[in-house]
Structure 1
Amino acid sequence: MDGSLSFESFYTGAKKAAHRAMVEHGRREYDDFALFAGVAIEKLAKAVLMSKNPTYLAEMRNGNSDMLLYFGGDLQMDMKKVRTIGAKDAIARLRRLGVLQADPDLDTLIEMRNGAAHASSGGREAMEMISPFARTIEKLLDHLDEKLGTFWGRWATAVRAAVNWHVDQVSRDLQLRVEHSRHAFDDRFEGLQEGVKQEALRSQNPLTSSLRARPMTAKRNGVPYIMTTGGNCPACTGPTILGFELARRTGEKATYVLDAFSCVICDFRAQGPEEMVAVRNLVFSGVTPTSPAWDEPDEIETA
């Protein structure tokens, strides 16, 4: 049988596509994410079927048994004529075998991959497809007795976050963004001399230097806004900028609440009350290797 139809080929292809899917999800390119996620699931599903019996990959079209005989090892064929089942059939067969269970979200993801459904740019449904994707990969790996960390490599932490239903969706999405920012930052220094990355982290940024000396007051959409420096970024440990939005006025006193958190080095950003809570929880939980101690103020007052 051709090497491209081996277990190793399907497994390696699934791993490569899965990593690419995580990159696209971090970039918020959800159509591309769905494409690569679907490819990863299809290839890993075929790896599972191959591990059980190569004939399970045979596509039976119009009652023709040639594919069945080929995958059974008793018929030679031109590789140009060899056809395997697609993602939907592979998933259906694994459900019949009890490896996978019915999952409408997985079906939606495969439809997005095939173009039958479309992921709108920035759409919440598309963003949340990360969970059925990670969940399905985990089930298939468990059946193969393959370790999650070996398959996912540096994406393992992000994937565990994607299937962690003990935290809310905002927190899961935020941790995924932290992981993506960290990997994107590390990739910028791949192949460079040791110490270059640390030097970049130590370099002085004009804006943070200015804000460290004195917070800046400006207007955003006509509303007063204060910017000042924060602690270390949870993704790269670089310096951060905090944004405080006017919440209320009482006489001469104005109260500003923390509304934005951004890194000047790796460009990790979080904004809005829900994400501020998620950033705080992420830092306090210690789930990221670079988690600093959270000592940012929730609000500030001016007279």
Structure 2
Amino acid sequence: MESPVTFDRLYEGAKRFARLAMEAHAEEDQEVFLLHAGVSVERLAKAALVLVHPTLLTEVNGKDDMLLHFAGAVSEPPTRLRTIGASTAIGRLRKMDVLPQKPKSEAADLDGLIELRNGVAHLGASGVDDYLGTFAATADRLLQHMGQDREAFWDAWLETVQWVLDDRADRLQKVVRLKMNQARHRFRARFADLPEGAVEGATRAVGERGLIVVQVEPAKALFRTLSQCPACSREAAALYLGVDEDSPLFELELKAEGLLCGLCGFRLSSTDEIEAAGLPTTVRHSVEDLTQAVAEGTDPAERLATVTLALPTVRSAGSQDSF
């Protein structure tokens, strides 16, 4: 009887859970990401040990059932399959110099990933740090050790992993590129099974043209305008623009401060991120471009006193925007 614990089964399971982990990370579900990433690492580690010899998966606890089965001494596997856990598998690979030794930061991060995976599985976790880089680096190291193709393993997530692991890119570039790749995945997942024309209809539905007043404070005003999304390339992104009280009324020089796409969820939260995404950080508009206000409270013309003297065409939509 063929053993249910084989390299192929372990490797295919690791690949499946790796993609589930990347999908969960793209949806900003950290607990699900930790569960799937931890399972993927554990199965990859066990696959690496099986390539050396299946007996490396046995626990040292005085029982010989699994040891005899993996060594080929008995063909029938035990009724209850019990192999080593993730921490033991990682420890054995460290002794073999396949994975980094403690107390290097990379080793500590890997231990943290496994500990958090176990914590989520048993109790749940809160305030979880982002372990995507640790997961990608560990998986890539094990794939290289086993001679497995990275593209076949990561599939559509290969570009994301490459950006995460790229030492040449600074942290800001990595953050923006990661957000972009994840947004593209969400876009494909949301519209893959919809009929032709659904994307165009959704684009028209979420896009609001013109310069819209979002919020006004004594020294600053915040506007929103329609922009092409750098991730899904659809004209469905709200670009948020700020201006201080010193800007001339007839020609507003607005500073890009954030972006949120209504189709793929691509989000930029600072001027620096907008620049890293390849978008202009300053935009010029005239007061005639103003179309409406989405600020609650007092009369729009009164709320916009720091921007213009009178806006008779501005109307309140009674809602609040954020990014």
| TM-score (normalised: structure 2) | 0.77
Matches within 5 A, 1:205-284: 205-206=204-205, 208=207, 210-211=208-209, 214-219=210-215, 223-230=220-227, 232-239=228-235, 240-246=237-243, 248-250=244-246, 252=248, 255-280=253-278
Instruction: Point out the structure with the larger helix share.
Output: 1
Q: CA deviation at 1:225?
A: 0.9
Q: CA deviation at 1:206?
A: 5.0
What is the aligned-residue RMSD (CA, Å)?
Answer: 2.6
Q: CA deviation at 1:257?
A: 1.3
Residues 239 and 256 in structure 2, CA contact (< 8 A), matched pair in contact too: yes
Q: Which has the larger radius of gyration?
A: 2
Identity value in percent:
31
Q: CA deviation at 1:266?
A: 1.8
Q: Match of 2:57? A: 57
Runs of 4+ displaced beyond 6 Å: none
1:120 equivalenced with 2:135 (yes/no): no
Q: CA deviation at 1:23?
A: 1.0
Q: Within 1, Cα distance between the matches of 2:80 and 2:217? A: 62
Among 135, 138, 159, the residue aligned to 1:136? 138
Evaluate the alpha carbon distance shift between residue 9 and residue 207 of structure 1 in structure 2; reply closer, same or farther with a 3 A threshold: closer
Unaligned runs of 5+ in 2: 102-106, 287-306, 308-323
Q: Match of 1:107? A: 111
Q: CA deviation at 1:189?
A: 3.4
Residues 70 and 77 in structure 1, CA contact (< 8 A), matched pair in contact too: yes
Q: Within 2, Cα distance between the matches of 1:134 and 1:192? A: 32
List per-residue Cα deviations over 1:127-161 (Å, max 9, x = no partner): 2x100100000011101111111100001011111
Q: Within 1, Cα distance between the matches of 2:67 and 2:194? A: 51
SS at match of 1:158: helix
Among 148, 158, 161, the residue aligned to 1:159? 161
Q: What letter matches 1:228 in structure 2?
A: T
Evaluate the alpha carbon distance shift between residue 265 and residue 207 of structure 1 in structure 2; reply closer, same or farther with a 3 A threshold: closer
Q: CA deviation at 1:162?
A: 1.4
Q: CA deviation at 1:64?
A: 2.6
Q: What letter matches 1:12 in structure 2?
A: E
Residues 3 and 9 in structure 1, CA contact (< 8 A), matched pair in contact too: no
1:168 equivalenced with 2:188 (yes/no): no
Q: Within 2, Cα distance between the matches of 1:106 and 1:244? A: 41
Q: CA deviation at 1:78?
A: 5.0
Residues 59 and 84 in structure 1, CA contact (< 8 A), matched pair in contact too: yes
Q: Match of 1:288? A: none
Aligned length: 276
